Chain A
Amino acid sequence: GQNIDQPTEMTATEGAIVQINCTYQTSGFNGLFWYQQHAGEAPTFLSYNVLDGLEEKGRFSSFLSRSKGYSYLLLKELQMKDSASYLCASSDSNYQLIWGAGTKLIIKP
């Protein structure tokens, strides 16, 4: 079956670095998305990886290994506003998105 796994919750300190992992098993693969969702708000797009490697975008970077079915989102210089849920989603062979349940990131001062 199709499945996305990511940790339920993580805690990190303001100013530090945190890595949120995501493993996926989908029928075919057409890319891996990361979205940010603040409590009570809509998800917003962070990144899209379809090739292996690291994509850097400011304080946020996303990594993909297709052979391992693995991705991570790296957040640097954490700020309190980064407290949110981070959603991983894989696009399968039919271009349907399979979503993980999200990782709630708690930032402590």
Chain B
Amino acid sequence: TAGITQAPTSQILAAGRSMTLRCTQDMRHNAMYWYRQDLGLGLRLIHYSNTAGTTGKGEVPDGYSVSRANTDDFPLTLASAVPSQTSVYFCASSDSGTHTGELFFGEGSRLTVL
């Protein structure tokens, strides 16, 4: 069972360039999330989507955008990358949009912005 697939696994990006991190799930979950994880900090929510066609801002949305055209896909775009966006990015999904259910995470995308 694939679950959640993220791509790329890792990427080095020059500052100022754009980048899209891809996320696909095959569990037909309504809710999807993008988190970033930095050393010494808890996971921080960037954007979320409770259902296809809707998105919302999380704790740290600046510099990022998302779209949810269908149930399965939830790409994260960095329009003009900056070094502070160097991080590990996790996509996650859940059956429920109310964060009372288990989150299923992808394997992560390690992004380095130089």
Contact = CB atoms under 8 A, between A and B. Distances in A.
Interface residues of B, number: 21
Contact of B42 (A30, A44, A98): A98
B41 A101 contact: yes
Interface residues of A, number: 23
A50 B96 CA distance: 16
Interface string B29-59: 0000000000011111100000000000011
Contacts of A30: 98-100
Interface string A83-107: 0000101010001111111100000
Given A43-B105, A96-B58, A100-B42, 7 more contacts: A35-B103, A41-B107, A42-B106, A43-B90, A50-B100, A99-B42, A99-B43
Interface of A: 4, 30-31, 33, 35, 41-45, 48, 50, 87, 89, 91, 95-102
